[in-house]
Structure 1
Amino acid sequence: MQFTDENCFLCGTTITKEHRTPVFGEWMQDKYNLRNKELLMLDKSVTTFDQLTIPCCDQCHLNHVLPLESEIEDAAKTEYDGICTLDQKRIFQWIGKMYYGMLVTELIKEKDPLIMPENPVSENPQMLGKFKTFYQVLQSLRVPMKFSDFLPCSVFILQVAPTEDDLPFEYQDELTTMCFSIKLGPVVIVCKLLDNGIIRNVLNRLYKLTEDRELHPIQVAEFKARVFYAAYIFNVVPDYFIRPGKPEDEQLILDSLIDDITNEVFNPFEPLAYAHMLEEMLKPWSIREKDILENPQKPISFLTDDNGEFKTIKQFAK
């Protein structure tokens, strides 16, 4: 794991600065007209989607990155149904590649920033430890690797109703909590990396309520807030171990262990902190903290009613 322009982001081999791969696949940039759209980085510098590339050797680019992007592109052609048929390990690798690409870009920029970020990622030893652990499972993109009885993330696939949805593409990431969401037309994928599916289990009942339903965009925003907040209070980092193998083995098998004895898996839920997260996600609807916490012990929900059942929203009046 080396944060430089002279080492392949995936295998670490030494390369020249011309060897790059896009963080966001070219098919995505073309389909959603992203090439010249601007992105604000943590050091307040501005880049565009087509300028956002990471160092990548020819072998990793041709043999691992391009086939992955092609697989996602094909699945996305049939939107929700296609994305749902993907192996979730491939979704993990795809989200992981984009997340890690943003991370590498930010860390390279921190060496010569336009404005030094308030909390530089490179100066947080705990975060660098998490990234190192994540990098180990990201190697499944190029090394034949089987996760024994887990997936190193929680993946949620949501379907957006077209009535009031005017956003063809959107993405959000939170580097420190390792949370990522991306919208491809009517499909939204939300992913918390490095939790071994724990958040998926915690939110399973809510997720089941949304399955095969078309959600209003405000409901998608709330679902993202719930995942991002769960990632914020998630308090453990898995350890991964390569199972001893035989010379004739064709893949590595990884086992995992989470220390939930000396560490609480989640920090306590704080309604005010969740309200801040939800307020951020609900900005397009101008819904403020006081509205969210009208009942301080039960923040507002657009997904479920007072009985915990799914709430149908066709149109939303601001």
Structure 2
Amino acid sequence: MLDMIDLTLYDPFEKMQFTDTNCFLCGTIITKEHRAPVFAEWLQHKYNLQHKELLMLDKSVTTFSQLTIPCCDRCHTHHLMPLEHEVAQAAEKGMEGLRALPPQRLFQWIGKMYYGTLVTELIKETDPLVMPQYAVSEDPKMLGKFRSFFQVLQSLRVPMQFADFLPCSLFLLEVSPTEDTLPFEYQDELTTMAFSIKLGSVAIVCTLLDNGIIKKALGRLYQVTEGQQLHPIQLAEFKARIFYAAYIFSVVPEYFIRPVKPEDDHLVLDTLIDDVTNEIFNPWEMTAYAHMLEEMLKPWDIREQQILQNPHQPLSFLLDEHNKYKPMEHFVKPA
């Protein structure tokens, strides 16, 4: 007798069910011992992350190995472990392996880390070390966005097909080894849902919940980098542009499940973006972008005034004045 496929989605946002005793993925009641790592063990071992520190919104400090989420055995064994196994194998083959992974799997993998961090923040808000300046759980607009995101993340557990869209923009970039000193790097921005992770010579930059719009908008920039090995400072600039685009992205897609027939073994989701009453992007402001770029260029000690020396053409390590790719092997600090 085959297991009946359960196509019911779980909605923790309805009752704000973010506790240590509900599985983050299906809501099953569990004990506090049932946990899954947000960053997989293979990742922690490969890049020696176990004791590296992470600062949470309530100013508490955790480490990669301590960052775990409530997860039932079934979800852990049937859904998370196979996903991690797939990504670990692909990552072994570098760019070629990760490119060959179905984009939906990469979306789920990044989504799990992003959402795992978010769930930890929501659980912490019930008993914070220091009350965050902006409590996520008190912002209805943000919660609506997270709720939409969780709906598509459940494709991890419930077989789901997205009709002619992927809920995110994915960028895979290759980094030149010449001046690359960081085998692993990770950044996320909870409110704008921008995420980047670097595994050896491959960086994956992702904007979750934009249905691929940012990739379309910045397609020219991405094309320019294809087949190139970027210097780490060029990667930092690429990330600044993507993270800033996520910051000015101003719509939240809605997802609709097609009616389920008794014989169906998966859900089909359609999407709608209200671009009639809403502008998709807020205006691009040079100073705000320069601020984001300065943040990303911190390791090279480049300040905002240098970035905006020519306000019409901000400093770029990636593109020349004709918007063509600027090859770069060694970093020379601009005068």
Name the TM-score class by shorter chain. Answer: over 0.9
Percent sequence identity over aligned pairs: 70
> Which of 226, 233, 253 lines up with 1:211 in the alignment?
226
Does residue 68 (structure 1) correspond to residue 86 (structure 2)? The answer is: no
Q: Secondary structure at the match of 2:197?
A: strand
TM-score by length of 1: 0.99
> Which of 35, 38, 50 lines up with 2:65 in the alignment?
50
User: What does residue 268 of structure 1 align with?
Assistant: 283
User: What does residue 299 of structure 1 align with?
Assistant: 314
> Which of 208, 212, 234 lines up with 1:193 in the alignment?
208
Q: CA deviation at 1:38?
A: 1.1
User: What does residue 154 of structure 1 align with?
Assistant: 169
Report the residue type matching 1:211 in the other structure.
Answer: E
Task: For residues 223-251 of structure 1, give each alpha carbon's deviation from its aligned partner in whole angstroms, at most 9, with x where no partner exists.
Answer: 00001000000000001001123211211
Does residue 169 (structure 1) correspond to residue 181 (structure 2)? The answer is: no
Task: For residues 139-194 of structure 1, give each alpha carbon's deviation from its aligned partner in whole angstroms, at most 9, with x where no partner exists.
Answer: 10010100001000000001100000000111000000011100111111011000
Task: For residues 31-80 of structure 1, give each alpha carbon's deviation from its aligned partner in whole angstroms, at most 9, with x where no partner exists.
Answer: 00011111111111111111100000000000000000000000000111
Residues in 2 aligned to 1:134 and 1:286: alpha-carbon distance in whole angstroms: 35
User: What does residue 311 of structure 1 align with?
Assistant: 326
Residues in 1 aligned to 2:56 and 2:265: alpha-carbon distance in whole angstroms: 40
The alignment of Structure 1 onto Structure 2 pairs a total of residues equal to 318
User: What does residue 96 of structure 1 align with?
Assistant: 111
Residues in 1 aligned to 2:332 and 2:314: alpha-carbon distance in whole angstroms: 19
Q: Secondary structure at the match of 2:263?
A: coil
Gaps of 5+ in 2: 1-11
**Cα-Cα RMSD:** 0.7
User: What does residue 301 of structure 2 align with?
Assistant: 286
Q: Secondary structure at the match of 1:51?
A: coil
Q: Secondary structure at the match of 2:187?
A: strand
Gaps of 5+ in 1: none
Runs of 4+ in 1 over 3 A off after TM superposition: none
Residues in 2 aligned to 1:58 and 1:8: alpha-carbon distance in whole angstroms: 9
Task: For residues 290-314 of structure 1, give each alpha carbon's deviation from its aligned partner in whole angstroms, at most 9, with x where no partner exists.
Answer: 0111111221111110111100000
Residues in 2 aligned to 1:41 and 1:239: alpha-carbon distance in whole angstroms: 29
Residues in 2 aligned to 1:297 and 1:16: alpha-carbon distance in whole angstroms: 57
Q: How does 1:217-236 map to 2 (within 5 A)?
A: 217-236=232-251
Report the residue type matching 2:49 in the other structure.
Answer: L
TM-score by length of 2: 0.94
Q: How does 1:27-46 map to 2 (within 5 A)?
A: 27-46=42-61
Q: Secondary structure at the match of 1:50?
A: coil
